[in-house]
Structure 1
């Protein structure tokens, strides 16, 4: 028998060990994802306006780095480690978008397409290098780097897009949330009804979760004079944090979102949106 090609052997070993670094895409994934996007918006706004804004951004950056190091230090998907990083991306990504607008003075209608171009560049480079954008193929460090770059870009772009529709276009937070709720359902309909590309459908829905969750968080938290309900960012952030802890603890115990061995194979046909 001829010896197996070294690269093929390495890939086969990775697949057999099932070292996926991301969760299965189930309804729980979308629930926690929306909760983290909303919580990141409320937490960021609360910190920036209740402590020194430079200190708030510094703490957000530190938390992001710590969570990033922790995620890359583990060898497989661990629910609390993964979602801790998503939460910190949500908080820090919001701060990046807000600093771009408030401190640098860049209008949302400028920053939104700029972040979108950056996201497109990440996807383009990722696909050119790896020949796949499937999150079920995240079992090498390089692919994980591309994945988290894309996630960070979606949060920054989504934050700017949500604020743009709510404030620049004067739709208000609730109307913006309704717009993004409809847009969130578009890829699901395209996937299930019209059999559209599952990779595109996933990432489209993923991008929309950011402005969708953030718009609802702002609607609940912002003052009534700013088209919100006036409950306060701190209260909203606290309640959302409790829900996130509950769901992540459930996933950690039940392991319902742990990818099984067949899903770690490099096959786009096994990708599922929900």
Structure 2
């Protein structure tokens, strides 16, 4: 069977629960500080790790036939690093304002989501059961990282809000999709809105921890923040890999198992 026509037995993405958002936020922070650290440490190494790691991780993920948390989250992490690089690249090379870069990424993201919707009929992450949908998924993930990076830099730099005010802004904004979902707004729209906002939120937190006091941060340095993030990320991935708690259907099965005894008692009475 051709690669483009492969069909999977189950979605190749994790269930969306608390651990998903925690790990996603960690990747955004690591991607931000790791990209900055590599860029100041060694440009050649940054290229090899950022670009090579991105394509290598996606090759590993897309060739697989099923979901595995280590494979999936390593791919997300490398997309985070590479996404930061491609978002910062135009500003560094061309001097374009971050809000211009953010606008471009927003248009590209909307275009890709429209293409995906028209092609597949759905944008739900629960529908990632074909190779074609998986390619749409990872393209969208990459653009959300580029957009989120540019948005975070827009508020911190172009709007002179600094990192901690940016954290408060994006921390407040990310609650909006949750509230919207609770009152009945389409789940898919709420998911992708929240997913995009995790990037500027996580990146602003990481930058606030890493940059010097003179620039409004705590001065932990990008190397220390990256290392700390990687340790927490590894613990989180190990947890879901050992418990299988992020596999499709796990929480529904656990809920049914919890409800079953009371239902049996009710039927028995």
The verdict on a shared fold, with TM-score over 0.5 as the criterion, is yes
Aligned-pair distance for 1:55?
4.1
Q: CA 1:163 to 1:188, structure 2 compared with 1: closer, same or farther past 3 Å?
A: same
- Distance in 2 (CA, whole Å) between partners of 1:188 and 1:259 is 21
1:225 and 2:202 are equivalent in the alignment: no
Q: Confirm whether residue 178 of structure 1 aligns to residue 182 of structure 2.
A: no
Q: CA deviation at 1:73?
A: 1.4
Equivalent in the alignment of 2:97 = 107
Indicate whether 1:250 and 2:260 are aligned.
Answer: no
1:154 is the counterpart of 2:144: yes
Runs of 5+ unmatched residues, structure 1:
1-10, 264-274
Please, what TM-score do these two structures have when normalized by structure 1? 0.87
Residue equivalent to 2:265:
none
CA contact 1:63–1:88 (8 Å) conserved in 2:
yes
Q: In the aligned structure 2, how far is the partner of 1:94 from the partner of 1:180?
A: 18
Match of residue 271 from structure 1: none
Q: CA shift at 1:50, angstroms?
A: 1.4
Going from structure 1 to structure 2, the CA distance change for 1:262 and 1:189 (only over 3 Å counts) comes to closer
TM-score, structure 2 normalization: 0.89
1:78 aligns with 2:68: yes
Query: Which consecutive residues of structure 2, in runs of 5 or more, have no partner in the other structure?
Result: 253-269
Shift of 1:51: 1.2
- Which residue number corresponds to residue 163 of structure 1? 153
Give secondary structure in 1 for the equivalent of 2:123: coil
How far the C-alpha of 1:29 sits from its partner, in A, is: 0.1
SS at match of 1:195: coil
Q: Which SS does the other structure have where 2:49 is aligned? A: helix
Question: Which secondary structure state, in structure 1, belongs to the residue aligned with residue 141 of structure 2?
Answer: helix
Aligned equivalent of 1:22, options 13, 21, 28: 13
Aligned to 1:208: 197
Runs of 4+ in 1 over 3 A off after TM superposition: none
Q: Is the contact between residue 80 and residue 248 of structure 1 (CA under 8 Å) also seen in structure 2?
A: yes
Q: CA deviation at 1:59?
A: 2.6
Q: Deviation digits for residues 193-234 of structure 1, max 9, x if unmatched?
A: x11111100000000000000000000001111111111000
1:199 is the counterpart of 2:188: yes
